[in-house]
Amino acid sequence: MHIPDSSRPEAQPRPRTSDPRVWDDAVLQRALDRASDGTWGPVAVLPSTGSTNADAAEQSREGAPEGFTVVADEQTEGRGRLGRAWQSPSGAGLAMSVVLRPRPPADTWGWLPLIAGLAVVDALDVAGVVSALKWPNDVVVDAAARDGGPGPRKLGGLLLERVGDAVVVGIGLNVDLGASELPVPHATSTSLEGSPAGREDLLVEILESLRRGYTLWQNNSGDAAASGTAAAYSARCLTLGRSVRALLPGDGVVEGVATAIDSDGRLVIACRDGSSRALSAGDIEHLR
């Protein structure tokens, strides 16, 4: 499989455009050049693909280096958790997948989706969007839905897949969607939240934030406490302290109060019967 690399010298930049749904290649290239230290990459930018995660997974099997990233204007088969579709009008969102090759033991890899989530909210801070994390993989704004229903409002999500000794981190973020384009009332976009940040800047900020947080975690052998990852995640996790309902794989349900993130990145729930459960996966609903 051949993926064009936006960093190749022969790539010709488009004329500058004010259309946020069209990549400004010159702006993107300058941003990547300014941010990169040469240790991650390259970044492949595609007009359309079935799934950036599938593309990145294929490239990882062929030896793609750490930090290799696939970005697409449009995904025709984008996926979220539990096989759900992730859809966005062409150019209105950021769809990207990053190849990681973690060195810490595999039993610490439960922190990788949380590290990726932190990277996104840190990047959104720079873009002027106050966001938070809904365990395990949603990026949200702590506010009611746009139809007045219960929040939080969802900005984006993450999907991680293991591919041999590598992990592909998929990130989907709503950027330029208008209110009439939102798939559900509790969705939102960075533009609706008041940020003028373009996809070029958001892409670079996310990659830089991910590299920093991931490298710190790796340098501490996957120890989330020693690296500061656990404290940083807990500070940005909207789920903690809330009454929640967890829908588990296999149709199980757990209700209680989310009290902590444990050393393995699992959500700890104090159940109503007095017991405690640590969940490694689940669809979490915040209860009023």
Domain boundaries, the chain: 25-235, 240-286
pLDDT(14) > 90: no
Tell me the per-residue pLDDT of 197-243, one tens digit each, with 9 for 90 and over: 999 999 999 999 999 999 999 999 999 999 999 999 999 999 999 99
Domain 25-235 has CATH 3.30.930.10: yes
Q: List the one residue out of 171, 204, 178, 208 whose CA is nearest residue 75.
A: 171
Q: Which carries the bigger pLDDT value, residue 233 or residue 26?
A: 233
Average pLDDT, the chain: 88
Query: If one looks up domain 240-286 in CATH, what number appears?
Result: 2.30.30.100
Q: H or E stretch including 282?
A: none
pTM of the model: 0.89
Tell me the per-residue pLDDT of 89-144, one tens digit each, with 9 for 90 and over: 888 999 999 999 999 999 999 999 999 999 999 999 999 999 999 999 999 999 99
Q: List the one residue out of 286, 228, 241, 236 whose CA is nearest residue 117.
A: 236
Tell me the per-residue pLDDT of 145-174, one tens digit each, with 9 for 90 and over: 988 888 899 999 999 999 999 999 999 999
Per-residue CA distances from 136 to 107, 113, 143 (Å): 17, 7, 19
Q: List the one residue out of 194, 86, 188, 80 whose CA is nearest residue 144.
A: 188
